[in-house]
Amino acid sequence: MRFISTRGNESVTGAQAIAQGIAKDGGLFVPETFPKVTSEELSAMLPMSYAERAATVLYKFLDDYDFEELKTACEQAYSQFEGDDPAPLVKIDSSLYMLELFHGPTCAFKDMALTLLPYLLRKGCDLSGIEEEVLILVATSGDTGKAALEGFKDAKGVKVMVFYPNDGVSKMQKLQMATQEGDNVNVVAVRSNFDDCQSAVKQFFTSDDVKEELKKRNVILSSANSINFGRLAPQIAYYFSAYLDLVSSDQIAMGDEVNFAVPTGNFGNILAAYYAKRMGLPVKKLVCASNKNNILTDFIKTGVYDKRREFYKTMSPSMDILISSNLERLLFELSGREPTRVKLRMDKLKEEGVYEIYEEEREKIQSLFAADFCGEDETVETIYEFFEEYAYPMDTHTACAMYAASGYMAVSKDETPMVVVSTASPYKFPQDVMYALTGNDIKDSFKAIKHLNLTTAMKVPKSLSKLRDKKVRFTAVADADKLYEKVLEFVDGK
């Protein structure tokens, strides 16, 4: 399988795409063709473990890797999760299900990919003949940073540097990153928002001067954000697994369609669902859920992507994003895989802050996606009302997806089974969840965890219960235009 850039003619192997992270022209790597999974192959995956299913899906794209080695890597990655199933599907009502993706080391869905990415990246470098030290730069709106730090800590030949908006993550997310262990990691808070963090990282990847300066130090860049296909690919697997769980538990018959509702910020998670559909998974509708920063809702409904708007800091901070990087991959498909058109739009977004797609593209996206957004009050009400009815606690991001899913089902009268993707443990946002459930505004995160446990009886994840006693290691704060200096200081060991 070859991979091509969304903005040009670069063509590389899967291993090279993962090692590089981003195309040389600034585009994102996409598969040259979408591999198909037949109904017979789906049936053969029914008795498999999650790790075996994941390896089977991944190998469809990464056929330059060794399958048995890939399967072993998946087994090792998902053995780090609490419980027997890394991605359990929970039945809520007759046609409503929760796909829980928060049982990994950092209690968020990013673990599904970032526990596996160290293997994919190191092996990708080996297969590509890359011997230099790899510097992974990560911009995070809260969850990717911690998952990358945890996944790559003390990894041989790799350094990880994470940038996050200083006032744009929850207290628990900030503490998770600030206390990270490992001799090869670094964390810097940025006096700006996530979009500026992400833009700075992208500029580093496309700057010949930066690459040359790092080359002098025998270092190359790679990414752990979902702009890297190695981050995106493992996420495709859990949509297949959820579908197979519905079939194996006799909730649906093989071939029946399902819907997925996904809380969406950078568009990677829902793009993985779209890729699963392109591979042959019987998906009817993808419900794209935004928070108060509802740029994706507006885009899907109007065909106009306009970032020239107020930026809101919300109780669902991982979705506080105005530049959804992975949307570029969808634009590539909507345009008939026309890289010139994609580049023109990305340049227009950078220079003018807005672009518009053609009418036929808008109609196509609306046939695939439904979209809605959930404000702050609606987030609180959704958490409260859902717990009252089902005794099921959810985090603030999942609440946005549940709100959008409920709205879609009510308006469309679509009775297709709905799987809501639950992307984080409620314990990652304990103060907001406790406020939603009880009206109590608890200032201390760990007191909120204790009260949330008493209120819901939901088990507290081990990694979060131990966090209080961990030493804070990273306190650096920098302006967005000073991040390159911080990168060189880290590489030089200062």
> Could you count the other beta carbons within 10 Å of the beta carbon of residue 371?
23
Tell which residue, 427, 428, 383, 426, has the closest CA to residue 401: 383
Confidence label for 142 from pLDDT (cuts 50, 70 and 90): confident
Task: Tell me the per-residue pLDDT of 351-374, one tens digit each, with 9 for 90 and over.
Answer: 999 999 999 999 999 999 999 999
> Could you count the other beta carbons within 10 Å of the beta carbon of residue 149?
29
Q: Mean pLDDT across the stretch 61-69?
A: 98
What tokens appear for 21 in the block? Answer: 């992270």
Burial class (CB in 10 A: 0-12, 13-18, 19+), 377: exposed
Domain ranges of the chain: 89-108+230-459
Please check the confidence at residue 420 and state whether its pLDDT lies above 90: yes
pLDDT for 228: 95
Query: In what side-by-side order are the strands of the sheet with 158-165?
Result: 219-223, 133-139, 158-165, 185-190, 477-478
Please check the confidence at residue 9 and state whether its pLDDT lies above 90: no
The residues pairing with 3 across neighbouring beta strands, listed in sequence order, are: 12, 31
Catalytic position from the list 36, 71, 91, 110 = 110
Please check the confidence at residue 459 and state whether its pLDDT lies above 90: yes
> Could you count the other beta carbons within 10 Å of the beta carbon of residue 78?
22
- SS3 at position 323: coil
Cα→Cα distances 192→24, 168, 169, 198, 227, Å = 27, 8, 11, 11, 21
Please check the confidence at residue 96 and state whether its pLDDT lies above 90: yes
Task: Tell me the per-residue pLDDT of 272-312, one tens digit each, with 9 for 90 and over.
Answer: 999 999 999 999 999 999 999 999 999 999 999 999 999 99
Cα 223 to Cα 350: distance, rounded to the nearest angstrom: 21
Query: What mean pLDDT, rounded, does the chain reach?
Result: 96
Whether 110 is catalytic is yes
Task: Tell me the per-residue pLDDT of 31-55, one tens digit each, with 9 for 90 and over.
Answer: 999 999 999 999 999 999 999 999 9
The pairing of strands 133-139 and 158-165 is parallel
Cα 11 to Cα 20: distance, rounded to the nearest angstrom: 12
Confidence label for 19 from pLDDT (cuts 50, 70 and 90): very high
Q: Which CATH class is domain 89-108+230-459?
A: alpha beta
Task: Tell me the per-residue pLDDT of 194-252, one tens digit each, with 9 for 90 and over.
Answer: 999 999 999 999 899 999 999 999 999 999 989 999 999 999 999 999 999 999 999 99
What tokens appear for 315 in the block? Answer: 């109780």
